[in-house]
Structure 1
């Protein structure tokens, strides 16, 4: 892998990490707002459902960004990278 490819991959990883952090911030803010709304306006406790559903999505996003990716995802990325670079 030459220096250009290393820099391109590093830039791609940095963008992925920034995207995850933005996702985490938005998740936190929205869940806090929903918690407050649920606490003030409803007798039925429902805020745990968006927390669990979206929280699962956030966990999967973290796994993808920080390298705990199942093998099939890594292999797909490599195939797609080769396919796109062959077309150039």
Structure 2
């Protein structure tokens, strides 16, 4: 493996992105294992297979799924809402307003 540390700041941003992606996949695996276990326990209670019609069986998967989706969006989704580009545009906008105010 080549030594990519010599490549400069691009190495550190790529390393950070890989860590974020890995964190999402770990989160996804834990989500899957835990929710499969919850459904399996709910389905097989008292030595008998039950119908899975209890809403509480799926509530954990539903609400945790919302959080998982938010995590996915932060890692893979477009950062148009409050991403780095937005921050830079907002800083420029505020600087321009301040500059125009000083000229008036």
* Alpha-carbon RMSD: 2.0
Q: CA separation in 1, counterparts of 2:57 and 2:42? A: 6
Question: What's the TM-score, normalizing by structure 1?
Answer: 0.73
Larger radius of gyration: 2
Shift >6 Å, 4+ stretches = none
Mark the CA change 1:48 to 1:70 in structure 2 (over 3 Å): closer, same or farther: farther
Paired residues, number: 75
Match of 2:27 among 23, 26, 31: 23
Q: Do residues 34 (structure 1) and 38 (structure 2) align?
A: yes
Larger helix proportion, structure 1 or 2? 1
- Output one character per residue of 1:42-63: Cα deviation in whole Å (capped at 9) or x when no partner: 7761221001000111111000
Q: CA separation in 1, counterparts of 2:26 and 2:41? A: 23
Match of 1:12 in 2: 16
| Deviation larger for 5-14 or 40-49 | 40-49
Question: What's the TM-score, normalizing by structure 2?
Answer: 0.62
Q: Runs of 5+ in structure 2 lacking a partner?
A: 1-6, 89-104
